[in-house]
């Protein structure tokens, strides 16, 4: 050691590395073991198809409509569902923010998350099935017959189940963003003559937009990776043959793990494109704190 008075540990601490930094290690190990390693493994595997060519799997995927069509099928489910959930969650969050029994109602709305997609799917098969309460009530009311309305084993079955299981998640995130906006801002706008529609347009929407973009991304990723309800409630051979089904079939019916990995990579890329696109649009909006004052 030289005569310089500052010990190595102190210099490390000054640059932000000290004992507390070690607390990051468990999370790092987890991310490496459960995300980075499997992802890299899958990525490399996807470039080693059975036929031996480098891009064989990707060539196969994009030349077979039965495979590349799943991208569109999944988007056709995930995008409308996510938008609908978001559009429905905003007014509900606004209403609940001002209610006294906020916690009770929030709990009820969030309950479907705890049920899991399979239980919801089973319930829906009964409730929305040809002999279920829903269709029977409609036919008693003369609004349709079991023959004309079909709500399970098709697109709408999966759509409904994604709404039911996705809404609580979207709603919880939205509520936290809506609650983050200072009530005084709305009061100030009201005293300045802004009616509720104008207050929403000029104050809430611009302040909420960045948060809603994040909510959209998280909800979209969840909906895009739909699998159980697409099988149980949809028509997995046709209209709801989503991309995860294609990957599943490749892996466990054709035992072609390499192709399955390639499909998973395509799935990830599509999600990434949508997420990056939405997040980039955030830069159009103000993204600072949504409070009316400093600190």
Given the rule CB under 8 A, which residues bind another protein? Answer: 182, 184-185, 187-195, 198, 202-203, 206-207, 285-286, 288-294
Q: Is there a contact between 161 and 229 (Cβ–Cβ < 8 Å)?
A: yes
Q: Of the two residues 34 and 184, which places its CB atom closer to another protein in the complex?
A: 184
Determine the Cα angle at 112 with ends 170 and 159, to 5°: 65
CB 195 → another protein: shortest distance, Å?
A: 5
Token pair, residue 41, equals 């493994």
CB 210 → another protein: shortest distance, Å?
A: 10
CB 293 → another protein: shortest distance, Å?
A: 4
CB 279 → another protein: shortest distance, Å?
A: 18
CB 184 → another protein: shortest distance, Å?
A: 4
Length of the chain: 295
CB 60 → another protein: shortest distance, Å?
A: 49
Q: Of the two residues 9 and 201, which places its CB atom closer to another protein in the complex?
A: 201
Q: Is there a contact between 169 and 219 (Cβ–Cβ < 8 Å)?
A: yes
Question: CB-based contacts of 163: which residues, under 8 Å, 6+ apart?
Answer: 81, 84, 85
Question: How many C-beta atoms surround the C-beta of residue 252 within 10 A?
Answer: 11
Q: Of the two residues 111 and 284, which places its CB atom closer to another protein in the complex?
A: 284
Q: Is there a contact between 259 and 57 (Cβ–Cβ < 8 Å)?
A: yes
Q: Of the two residues 7 and 206, which places its CB atom closer to another protein in the complex?
A: 206
Q: Is there a contact between 239 and 73 (Cβ–Cβ < 8 Å)?
A: yes
Phi/psi for 94 (5° steps) reads -65, -40
Q: Of the two residues 136 and 195, which places its CB atom closer to another protein in the complex?
A: 195
HSE on the CB side for 257, CA within 13 Å? 6
Integer Cα distance of 274 and 222 in angstroms: 13
Q: Of the two residues 113 and 185, which places its CB atom closer to another protein in the complex?
A: 185
């Amino acid at each position: 050691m030289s005569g310089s008075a500052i010990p190595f540990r102190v210099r490390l601490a000054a640059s932000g590395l000290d004992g507390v930094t070690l607390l990051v290690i468990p999370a790092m190990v987890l991310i490496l073991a459960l995300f980075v390693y499997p992802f890299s493994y899958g990525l490399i595997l996807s470039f080693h198809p059975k036929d031996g060519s480098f891009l064989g799997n990707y060539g196969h995927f994009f030349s077979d409509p039965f495979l590349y069509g799943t991208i569109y099928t999944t988007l056709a489910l995930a995008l409308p569902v996510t938008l609908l959930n978001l559009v429905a969650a905003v007014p509900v969050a606004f209403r609940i923010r001002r209610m006294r029994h906020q916690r009770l109602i929030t709990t009820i709305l969030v309950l479907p998350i705890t049920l899991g997609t399979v239980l919801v799917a089973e319930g829906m098969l009964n409730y929305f099935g040809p002999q279920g309460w829903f269709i029977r009530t409609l036919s008693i009311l003369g609004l349709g017959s079991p023959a004309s309305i079909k709500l399970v084993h098709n697109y709408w079955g999966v759509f409904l189940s994604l709404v039911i299981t996705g809404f609580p998640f979207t709603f919880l995130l939205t509520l936290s963003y809506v609650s983050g906006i200072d009530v005084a801002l709305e009061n100030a706008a009201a005293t300045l003559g802004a009616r509720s529609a104008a207050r929403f347009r000029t104050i809430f929407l611009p302040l909420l937009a960045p948060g809603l973009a994040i909510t959209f991304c998280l909800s979209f990723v969840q909906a895009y990776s739909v699998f159980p309800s697409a099988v149980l409630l949809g028509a997995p051979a046709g209209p709801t043959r989503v991309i995860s089904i294609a990957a599943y079939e490749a892996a466990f019916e054709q035992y072609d793990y390499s192709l399955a990995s390639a499909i998973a990579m395509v799935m990830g890329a599509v999600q990434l494109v949508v997420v990056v696109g939405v997040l980039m649009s955030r830069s159009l909006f103000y993204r600072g704190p949504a409070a009316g004052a400093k600190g």
